[in-house]
Chains A and B, each alone.
Chain A
Amino acid sequence: MRNFKSLAFIASAATLLAACSSPTKVEETPVVEKSPAAAPVADTRDIRPVETGTVDPLNDPKGVLANRSIYFDYDSFVVRADGQPVVTNHAGYLTKNTSRKVLVQGNTDERGGTEYNLALGQKRAEAVRRSLASQGVSEGQIEAVSLGEEKPKATGSNEAAWAENRRADIVYQ
């Protein structure tokens, strides 16, 4: 029984942790209009001010920062030409917003061994980390990690799926 309780605790702790993490999903928080509460207005000449707020470009689902994936060729650990603008855009944001931190998560396709793939995914994350650092992002803002073959974006055992999974994702913390 005791075991069961601690299991339940672990499970719920894991749920909480998972709930805190939403990799690559763009938070869609549009302009916040704080409308007055529907309480009866006592004085018809009262005015309650509204604050519009601003859009963090990071949260603009149509902005360049919404693209957070960098793809790699088979057995390659070099940021391709199509990945350079993605890295540059995020480097620009991170150098302006030095309090923001990112995880760069490297991924591989499903072929091969679990742990060796984890190390290969790390090489992809590391390539992106170096590229961000070379564009002025401070080391303390970036952590390169790997999920190996464990979190494929595309399921399936074909080249299209594998290409989709040879990837590094920039995840804001």
Chain B
Amino acid sequence: MKKLHFLLFSVSLAMGTAANAQLQIEIAGVGSNQIPVAIAAFADESVAPDKVSAVIRADLERSGVFKVIDAGQVISDADAGQVNLNAFKASGANALVVGSVARQPDGRFAIRYKLLDTIKGGEISQLGGEVQPRYTRLQAHRIADDVYEKLTGIRGIFSTRIAYVKEDRAASRYTLAVADADGENEVVATQGKEPIISPAWSPDGSKVAYVSMENRKPVVYLQDLMTGRRNVISNQKGNNSAPAWAPDGRTLAVALSQDGNTEIYSVNASGSGHKRLTNNAAIDTEPQFSADGQTIYFTSDRSGGPQIYKMSASGGNATRVTFNGNYNISPRVSSDGKTLAWISQRGGAFSLYAMDLASGQELRLADGATEPSFSPNGKYIMYATKGGGRVSLAVVSVDGRVKQRLTTKAGNIREPSWGPFMK
């Protein structure tokens, strides 16, 4: 709770971004516990469509974990041996990022980087890779992931992708879009004249399940992103909604109303084998698998208002998880299984909360929030937030210290789903 008050005194950094999304970052308690890292401009990086060192810098700053120091010079990975590391140590940096970009005869770019230890001297890590020009940003995100992982011990999420829905209700235009985790590189996956909700990435990141109302009712579809091929996962009588993947990618849990009220079912990814998991006169919806696939968390109003429950992934008896407040919905579990994020309405406002499942201790992370989605490393939560008459996306770290907001020029963006780690 104390941490939330810090946000009021936080520093806002407006990152200049080229495309249609713009990112605003608030970092609470700047300087405290941040790892100081110097970043040099990469040799010849102007030959590529994106400035690699700038993308790395923006990623590391956005994480809130690093205090980025501008090295103020170009340093190639080839010259790593001649760098005066003591000078960077004196400037407060614990590590230094150097690198180079070179155009290859086949048109690709060779992007190389080294992470140097300014305290002990020597090399902590290095990466090299040749990529198509359009993957320059992706390679920069991968380098940022490597820096993040080597210095924190936690896998980075800068090269992951997000899916979300853009809606322009006045124009009856609904778009399922996929973008880099920083909101750049937006690509349209699906577009239509009827609402799309609840996108959910397959565990391998190749497909997205979602609910489309193009048939005047909610039907769950599965779309292969690369081929654009769509299959119906569930089109039973009544509603078909809330798709959630089992970690093995073979089955999904969905919410269906074919029995009159909304119940949770499991269904094969092929759309066959519907199996009912809940049996209750109340609403049971929003299933979410735990990372080990053994447990399903879900929302039910069996006790009156909506609360979060858990049960075995094969169904059966449910245990209530939330007790504070009379409106608790949208459970999401972190990849390590330790943290539950959800939406709670207390005193009128809908807020994002996180609970340490072992101790039951709750932390309020953001107000005016709905539809949370964990980053695959469990360190950040993306959510939809209303403000200025529009819905946009925001990201908060699980400790509440770092907040970012993604804004677009027009319309609403909502229903975020953070994709998995990919090779």
Q: Which residues of A contact B (CB under 8 A)?
A: 2-3, 6-7, 10-11, 14-15, 17-18, 21, 23, 103, 105, 111-116, 118-120, 122-123, 126, 143-148, 150-152, 155, 157, 171
> Which B residues are CB-close (under 8 A) to A105?
216-217
**What distance in Å separates the Cβ of A102 from its nearest Cβ neighbour in chain B?**
11
Can you list 18 residue pairs at the A/B interface with Cβ under 8 Å? A2-B228, A10-B191, A14-B194, A18-B192, A112-B345, A112-B370, A113-B286, A114-B371, A114-B415, A115-B285, A116-B283, A118-B262, A119-B239, A119-B262, A122-B239, A145-B218, A145-B257, A146-B257
In the bound complex, CA of A10 to CA of B217 (Å): 17
0 or 1 for each of B12-47: is its CB under 8 Å from A? (1 = yes)? 000000000000000000000000000000000000
In the bound complex, CA of A155 to CA of B412 (Å): 14
Interface pair A122/B257, CB less than 8 Å apart: yes
Interface pair A7/B188, CB less than 8 Å apart: yes
In the bound complex, CA of A7 to CA of B343 (Å): 34
Interface pair B192/A147, CB less than 8 Å apart: no
Q: Which residues of B contact A (CB under 8 A)?
A: 169, 172, 188, 190-195, 197-198, 213-218, 226-230, 237-239, 241-242, 255, 257, 260-262, 283, 285-286, 299, 306, 327, 329-330, 343, 345, 350, 370-371, 389, 414-415
> Which B residues are CB-close (under 8 A) to A2?
228
**A7 with B239: in contact, given A18-B214, A119-B262, A150-B213 (CB under 8 Å)?**
no
Interface pair A103/B217, CB less than 8 Å apart: yes
**A112 with B327: in contact, given A11-B192, A105-B217, A155-B169 (CB under 8 Å)?**
yes
> Which A residues are CB-close (under 8 A) to B299?
113, 115-116
**What distance in Å separates the Cβ of A168 from its nearest Cβ neighbour in chain B?**
13
> Which A residues are CB-close (under 8 A) to B194?
14, 17-18
Interface pair A113/B216, CB less than 8 Å apart: no
Interface pair A17/B214, CB less than 8 Å apart: yes
**What distance in Å separates the Cβ of B228 from its nearest Cβ neighbour in chain A?**
4
> Which B residues are CB-close (under 8 A) to A119?
239, 255, 257, 262, 283, 285
User: Can you name the residue of chain B whose Cβ is closest to the Cβ of A75?
Assistant: B305
> Which A residues are CB-close (under 8 A) to B193?
14-15, 18
Instruction: A15-B193, A115-B285, A145-B239 are known; give 12 further A-B pairs, CB within 8 A.
Output: A3-B228, A7-B228, A14-B193, A112-B370, A113-B286, A113-B329, A115-B299, A116-B283, A118-B285, A119-B257, A119-B262, A145-B238
> Which A residues are CB-close (under 8 A) to B228?
2-3, 6-7, 10
User: Can you name the residue of chain A whose Cβ is closest to the Cβ of B260?
Assistant: A126
In the bound complex, CA of A27 to CA of B380 (Å): 51
Interface pair B329/A116, CB less than 8 Å apart: yes
User: Can you name the residue of chain A whose Cβ is closest to the Cβ of B192?
Assistant: A14
Choice from B195, B214, B215, B286 contacting A116 with Cβ under 8 Å: B286
> Which A residues are CB-close (under 8 A) to B261?
122-123, 126
Interface pair A145/B217, CB less than 8 Å apart: yes
**What distance in Å separates the Cβ of A148 from its nearest Cβ neighbour in chain B?**
8
> Which A residues are CB-close (under 8 A) to B238?
122, 143-145
> Which A residues are CB-close (under 8 A) to B237?
143
Choice from A112, A123, A147 contacting B213 with Cβ under 8 Å: A147
In the bound complex, CA of A127 to CA of B127 (Å): 61
> Which B residues are CB-close (under 8 A) to A147?
195, 213, 217-218
Interface pair B218/A118, CB less than 8 Å apart: yes
> Which B residues are CB-close (under 8 A) to A15?
192-193
9 A-B pairs with least C-beta separation = A14-B192, A6-B228, A150-B195, A145-B217, A18-B193, A119-B262, A119-B283, A113-B329, A119-B285
> Which B residues are CB-close (under 8 A) to A11?
191-192
**What distance in Å separates the Cβ of A140 from its nearest Cβ neighbour in chain B?**
10
> Which A residues are CB-close (under 8 A) to B215?
17
In the bound complex, CA of A146 to CA of B260 (Å): 12
**A113 with B255: in contact, given A118-B218, A126-B260 (CB under 8 Å)?**
no
**What distance in Å separates the Cβ of A4 from its nearest Cβ neighbour in chain B?**
9
**A23 with B239: in contact, given A114-B370, A115-B286 (CB under 8 Å)?**
no
Interface pair A118/B217, CB less than 8 Å apart: no
In the bound complex, CA of A146 to CA of B283 (Å): 13
Choice from A10, A122, A126 contacting B190 with Cβ under 8 Å: A10
> Which B residues are CB-close (under 8 A) to A146?
217-218, 239, 257
**A21 with B216: in contact, given A10-B230, A112-B345, A151-B195 (CB under 8 Å)?**
yes
> Which B residues are CB-close (under 8 A) to A14?
191-194, 214
In the bound complex, CA of A169 to CA of B175 (Å): 25
User: Can you name the residue of chain A whose Cβ is closest to the Cβ of B228?
Assistant: A6
In the bound complex, CA of A17 to CA of B194 (Å): 10
> Which B residues are CB-close (under 8 A) to A123?
261, 283
In the bound complex, CA of A17 to CA of B213 (Å): 10
Residue from B228, B299, B327, B389 whose CB has the most chain A CB atoms within 10 Å: B228
